[in-house]
């Protein structure tokens, strides 16, 4: 019987990406920059939250944004209206960003010019959870219309994220979404996750989220 070699491609890809992600984090640390990776489903409200967050912080923190999409620049144009520096990253059909792509984006931005970089990842709850981008923290968005069962359907995303932002709380009366049940399901997967229910459109509940960012950006820039 001929001998043959088995190559674990997936393991190799992730190991290479993890090494590059560690390099990205080291660079951010050296430059005193905090980077947040924001993930969520299409239509969850990532860009609306992003714009509200920028408006709340742009007068006190130097912010830059990387918008990732398979194609188009619709979100980048919307964020650019806030006046912060924005670049658009196109993945050429890939459903996620990896650390190498993120590193290219940081180089294009000039990370040393920003205290806070926000990476708006591609809209899905599967591929984006598998790749370390090199961000200091990972935040995911779950909107009320999506339902409170998403922690059961996409556990990997809820396990890897540091922060859960439950958006569109103004629509709670219109959908079968049980906040207590949702939080309980999340806690079973990730007991340490920070959870912020809010409505980016009206601003209700935004302040605790903004204060969390202030603290984390402050820690990064004080190094």
Each residue's pLDDT tens digit in the chain (223 positions)? 567 665 555 566 788 999 999 999 999 999 999 999 999 999 999 999 999 999 999 999 999 999 988 777 888 899 999 999 999 988 777 788 899 999 999 998 875 579 999 999 998 999 899 999 999 999 999 999 999 999 999 999 999 999 999 999 999 999 999 999 999 999 999 999 999 999 999 999 999 999 999 999 988 777 6
- Domain spans, the chain: 13-216
Note the pTM of the prediction, 2 decimals. Answer: 0.91
Angle between helical axes of 99-109 and 9-31 (0-180°, round to 10): 30
What are the CB-based long-range contacts (under 8 Å, 24+) for 200-203?
A: 200/45, 200/48, 200/49, 200/51, 200/52, 200/53, 200/167, 201/45, 201/48, 201/52, 201/168, 201/170, 202/170, 203/52
Which fold is adopted by the domain 13-216? Rossmann fold (3.40.50)
């Amino acid at each position: 019987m001929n001998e043959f070699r088995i190559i674990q491609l997936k393991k190799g890809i992730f190991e290479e990406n993890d090494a590059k992600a560690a390099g990205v984090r080291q660079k951010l640390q050296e430059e005193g920059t905090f980077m947040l990776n924001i993930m969520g489903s299409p239509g969850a409200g990532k860009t609306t939250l992003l714009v509200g967050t920028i408006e709340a912080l742009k007068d006190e923190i130097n912010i830059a944004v990387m918008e990732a999409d398979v194609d188009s620049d619709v979100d980048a144009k919307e964020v650019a209206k806030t006046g912060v520096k924005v670049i658009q990253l196109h993945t050429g059909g890939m459903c996620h960003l990896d650390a190498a792509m993120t590193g290219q984006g940081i180089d294009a931005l000039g990370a040393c010019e920003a205290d806070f970089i926000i990476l708006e990842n591609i809209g899905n709850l599967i591929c984006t959870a598998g790749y370390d981008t090199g961000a200091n923290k990972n935040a995911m968005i779950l909107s009320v219309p999506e339902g409170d069962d998403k922690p059961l359907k996409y556990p990997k995303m809820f396990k890897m994220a540091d922060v859960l932002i439950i958006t569109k709380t103004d629509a709670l009366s219109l959908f079968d979404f049980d906040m207590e049940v949702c939080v309980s399901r999340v806690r079973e997967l990730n007991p340490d996750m920070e959870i912020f229910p809010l409505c980016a459109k009206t601003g209700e509940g935004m302040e605790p989220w903004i204060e969390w960012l202030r603290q984390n950006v402050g820690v990064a820039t004080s190094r």
